[in-house]
Chains A and B, each alone.
Chain A
Amino acid sequence: QVQLMESGPGLVQPSETLSLTCTVSGFSLTSYNVHWVRQPPGKGLEWMGVMWSGGSTDYNSALKSRLSISRDTSKNQVFLKMNSLQSEDTTTYYCAREDTTVGYYFDYWGQGVMVTVSS
């Protein structure tokens, strides 16, 4: 069955770089787009960026200068790296699969990984 699972450090120092991994199963990264979405505590969801099935990427314009998404199709993994972390980057980070029926919505999500930015 389709599964996505985020992993990464729970605590990151201010100004450092966050590295997260989304490990997927039950589908191919070359057939589906995988997105990253984040949610600050008690707040709404913010789209961060996407790894398109063809291998290209797009990013939220507000995060573009700090964000990088890549993948390893042989390991069924999508990676997120974001630099210059600040306290406002303390959020839960999700990866999600985009449904291909219509597009731009998400039929499967990971459970999320909570990241705290603090010294």
Chain B
Amino acid sequence: DVQMTQSPSNLAASPGESVSINCKASKSISKYLAWYQQKPGKANKLLIYSGSTLQSGTPSRFSGSGSGTDFTLTIRNLEPEDFGLYYCQQHNEYPPTFGSGTKLEIK
């Protein structure tokens, strides 16, 4: 199985700032990485798939980049609703595997 290493595990930022979350795969997954947002009491939300394709409804302040083994989720101009947990997931091969998560908190 492909191992996904996500960093940092915790991140604090203020509204209006930009942040980046990294995800590293144990082997090449081409461009096939998804990003999810998780908030208490809500269903997990797909933000980005195939590395950089925004899911319908994802605000343009979110962007994804990378290919091969190294990927980044960038959130520009943070809004209060962006704070929560973020997970990466490789969807290049079966079985799908997830990163360990990044908790984005308000500074």
Surface stretch bound by B, among A12-20, A42-50, A75-83: A42-50
B83 within 8 A of A: no
DSSP class of A's interface residues: helix, strand, loop or mixed?
loop
Interface size on A, residues (CB 8 A): 24
Minimum C-beta distance from A25 to chain B (A): 14
Let me know if B41 and A111 touch, CB within 8 A.
Answer: yes
Most buried by B among A35, A43, A106: A106
Residues of B within 8 A of A (CB): 32, 34, 36, 41-46, 49-50, 55, 87, 89, 91-101
4 closest A-B pairs by CB: A104-B91, A105-B91, A105-B34, A45-B98
Residues of A within 8 A of B (CB): 4, 35, 43-47, 58, 60, 94, 96, 99, 101-112
Minimum C-beta distance from B5 to chain A (A): 11
